[in-house]
Structure 1
Amino acid sequence: MSYTVTKSSPVLVPPATSTPTGSLPLSSIDRTLTIDAAIDFVSVFSHGEQPGERIKEAFAKALVPYYPVAGRIAEPIPGVSVIDCTGEGIWYIEATANCTLEDVNYFEWPLMITKQEMQPRPPASEKLEHQILMAQITQFTCGGFAVGIWFNHQVFDGHGAAQFLKAVGDMARGLPEPTVKPVWSREAIPDPPKMPFCGTPPPFTVFNFATTVIEISPDSINRIKDKFTAETAKKCSTFDVITAIIYISRAKAIKLAGTAEVLIAFGASTRHLLHGVMPLLEGYYGNCLYLVGITKTSEEMNNASLVEVITLIKDAKDALSTNFVDWMNGVPGTHYNLWNFGYGLTCVSDWRWVGFNEVDYGWGEPKYVFNWFHDVNIVGMVVYLNPPKPKRGIRLMLRCVKEEHSAEFCDGLLKLIHQDIAEIV
């Protein structure tokens, strides 16, 4: 059977009352880290009575304290983006699906409804890159619904976008104001001295990445943690374990020449490093990320043990404070630089604790949250998700190897985490 979604025309939801106008700066991290990047994701809720109107009204109320989100991104000086506080509002779409959530297997992979059907987009006359956030509420015949969100990464990181959506949830549940008051303060983050020009980056290569979903139980992760502690007398995190497993298994599967570089990169939070910089950090919803990267040769990764690579990940995280401060002070380095977009690079993104799973519009927290990256073919990506409730453990959304390397990559990954307690979905 073919499942379809019928969308209403996009409408603007402005702030519920008048809000300040003018121009607001973005921070140096906003501008450096995320030029023209955007994120699409879906939150799946098992039930909700006419959620569209309630959530629409809640957006209007939340946009009063979060009035910059109702504006547009502008570029009065080439290369320097700002927020033009126009008060126009966000584009909002209500939609209905001709099926139940069970019919589409609660958005388990492979997906049975397309990204285009579930995600909001502005009218054709509007420039996508000028938008800050958009929403689509899709109602299913079972009474469940899904919230599709598009947000511009120049304005928020994941924590910041989740903070705004939690404020929408506060309004939808009848609170008089958001639990966390928003803080802009982008100008408080210093502008580092300009780095030397490193030349024009090479052209992007488009790869045909395969998509796989793998789930790992808490027991398997804890067993590896215990082994690491027994061998090193140190602790390691779930992130350290999973990232090391991906780094090793991918490097072996793609079989680059021995001297070729294989890289892994991830965004690390710098919020704890901004306490002395920001006048008020709680409520700040701008980007607080620094790109951490590790580079080894293919031969080095082929010969490395899991304990050794976990240590590499830990050491890279431990160097975050020094590297971030160096960036703010203009010390030369590979700051916010993915070095190259070749096949040797993969990026990992941990969504488990960002906060999207805690957004409550009045019918409880979502059953499942996932992002759309199935059309990404320039850089290998792995996203760490919470599996749908009531499952426990970690779900890996893998899109980082070509089809011809996918089977070996997954086999190697499963062997490292013990195949009897890992499940390919």
Structure 2
Amino acid sequence: MAVIRVKRWQPELVAPATPTPHEVKLLSDIDDQEGLRIHVRNIYIYCHSPSMEGKDPVKVIRDALSRTLVFYYPFAGRLREGHGRKLMVDCTAEGVLFIEADADVTLDQLGQALQTPFPFCEELLYNVPGSDGIVGCPLLLIQVTRFKCGGFTFAIRMNHTMCDGAGFAQFMSALAEMARGAHQPSVLPIWQRELLSARNPPRITCNHPEFEKPKDIAEWQTIIGSIENMIERFFFFGPSDIASLGNLVRDQLGEAKYSTFELITAYSNWLLWKRYGISRGSTVEKLCENPITYAVELIKKAIAEVKEEYMHSLADLLVINGRPFYTLPWSFLATKLWRMGYRKMDFGWGNLVYGGLTGTDNVFADLSLMDYVNPNGEEGILLPILLPAKAMERFAKELDDMLGNPNQAIKSGNKSQHNSQV
């Protein structure tokens, strides 16, 4: 693997290009829960484009960012914490952190490193000391790194309390439009966080097992071991793989409707707890003893329950219980991140090599399913997962057996390992 050296210029604050309202905006009572008080990192890789010869991606994007922040001005503010740990945005127009950088290699020299998980994340998205807090810190950190071939990377870190995947995709789309010369985004942002705020008085009307405290935490900790010893691996599901899983389910469910998200999530859930649950005689025994269709029906049922009343009840629960962290033991967190347009973020250069998450965030059984094009040019879905080494071996083997062919695992390795220099 190539060694990459990156020269970074002094981080700077990019503020809105014109004056913006100085006001305080409350986050919703779902936004400011403990589980969302994290930073999410994404990276976008672009090749050289002859049509953009002579144009500097750093200058183009920095200018577009300042103009985009006129419309998305809360991003230029800072979070404050009020009574009961309530988060709010103080729209101070202080700006977001921006880093200009240059790499001493071409994109081609990185080879397989252009696929997730990226071993050079720390170099392509430098963690400015003191910037990664939740309260009182910049809400966005962006680094644009030029490569010797004329290509570049756009890496961004976002405070997750500010928006979800869809909201972030809307911001990125606006930024790309402004970089291509637009005077304003085609879709303007709207702040209506009150729709997801707790009622007065708050009242819990639905079951929320994702926030219940399990009784067997010690057993769970014994099973997964130390989080530092986890192995991260990325599994690619192409059209034929998805069809194979669909055929397995269709034989038992007939023509019942199910989505690709339900299918992959159910299968991964079923396979994962089959490996853990039966050997330990835990409460997931029923899931393990039944076929995959049982897991599909569970996923469909869980999704169907998330209606308006459920969300009101969830907001009320979070307020009543002090905005707790969701339950980790025996939980399975799945997020749909594909078809949100991440691969179409065009700053004018086009030729997107990769667009999406830099990897998992050291959360056991955290599935963030996202768009991906494998090295053969085949479009599909990428499944990142973090497991203990032995469990990962079993997971991969059973996946191969289920599909009838070796799954195209992208890469694996300990998350702490990388082979680069600054």
Same fold (TM over 0.5): yes
One of 370, 373, 377 as aligned partner of 1:385: 370
Q: Structure 1 residues 220 and 152 mapped into 2: Cα distance closer, same or farther (>3 Å)?
A: same
Residue 348 of structure 1: SS of its match in structure 2?
strand
In the TM superposition, 1:31-70 aligns within 5 A as: 31-32=32-33, 34-47=35-48, 49-70=55-76
Structure 1 residue 189: deviation in Å?
3.2
1: distance between equivalents of 2:131 and 2:241? Answer: 48
Distance 2:315 2:65 in 1: 39
Aligned to 1:394: 381
Alpha-carbon distance between aligned partners in 1 of 2:28 and 2:187, rounded to the nearest angstrom? 21
Farther off after superposition, 168-177 or 219-228: 219-228
Q: Which of 123, 126, 140 is the equivalent residue of 1:133?
A: 140
Q: 2:420 corresponds to which residue?
A: none
Describe the superposition over 1:348-381 as per-residue Cα deviations: whole angstroms up to 9, x where unpaired. Answer: 22221233222221122632123234561x5332
Report the CA distance shift for 1:217/1:188 in structure 2 as closer, same or farther (over 3 A): closer
Instruction: Determine whether 1:308 maps to 2:330.
Output: no
Match of 2:159 among 152, 159, 180: 152
- Indicate yes or no: 2:241 matched with 1:254: no
Contact 2:103 2:145 in 1 (8 A): yes
Percent pairwise identity: 25
Give the SS at the match of 1:64. Answer: coil
When normalised by structure 2's length, the TM-score is 0.81
Q: What are the ranges of 5 or more consecutive residues in structure 2 without an aligned counterpart? A: 50-54, 205-210, 411-422
Q: TM-score, normalised by structure 1?
A: 0.81
CA drift at 1:90: 0.6
Deviations 1:357-413 (A, max 9, x none): 22221122632123234561x5332222222373212222221x2012111111112
Secondary structure, aligned partner of 1:104:
helix
Counterpart in the other structure of 1:273: none
Name the stretch that deviates more: 219-228 or 35-44: 219-228
1:87 paired with 2:93, answer: yes
**Conserved 8 A contact 2:115-2:354:** no
Question: Which residue in the other structure is 1:9 paired with?
Answer: 10
Matching residue's letter, 1:366: L
Residues 140 and 244 of structure 1: is their aligned pair in 2 closer, same or farther, counting only changes over 3 Å?
same
Task: Write out aligned runs for 1:116-265 (5 A).
Answer: 116-122=122-128, 124=129, 126=131, 128-129=133-134, 130-192=137-199, 193-194=201-202, 206-207=226-227, 208-232=229-253, 233-254=255-276, 257-261=279-283
Deviation at 1:240, TM superposition (A): 1.3
- Within a 5 Å distance, the mapping from 1:340-419 to structure 2 comes to 340-342=327-329, 344-364=330-350, 366-373=352-359, 376=362, 378-388=363-373, 390-399=377-386, 401-419=387-405
Q: Please, what is the CA RMSD of the aligned residues? A: 3.1
Deviation digits for residues 109-143 of structure 1, max 9, x if unmatched?
Answer: 57564321111434x35563232112111111122
In 2, the alpha carbon distance for the partners of 1:339 and 1:73 equals: 21
- CA distance in structure 1 between the partners assigned to 2:22 and 2:48 by the alignment: 38
Q: Relative CO higher for 1 or 2, CA cutoff 8 Å, sep ≥ 6?
A: 2
What amino acid is the match of 1:360? Answer: D
- CA distance in 2 between counterparts of 1:186 and 1:375 reads 26
On the 8 A contact 1:26/1:186 being kept in 2, the answer is: yes
Secondary structure, counterpart of 2:352 in structure 1: coil
Structure with a larger share of its residues in helix:
2
Q: Secondary structure at the match of 1:44?
A: strand
Superposed displacement of residue 176, structure 1 = 1.3
- Runs ≥4 in structure 1, deviation > 4 angstroms? 108-112, 193-206, 255-258, 328-334, 336-339
Letter in 1 for 2:245: I
Tell me the SS of whatever aligns to 1:316: helix
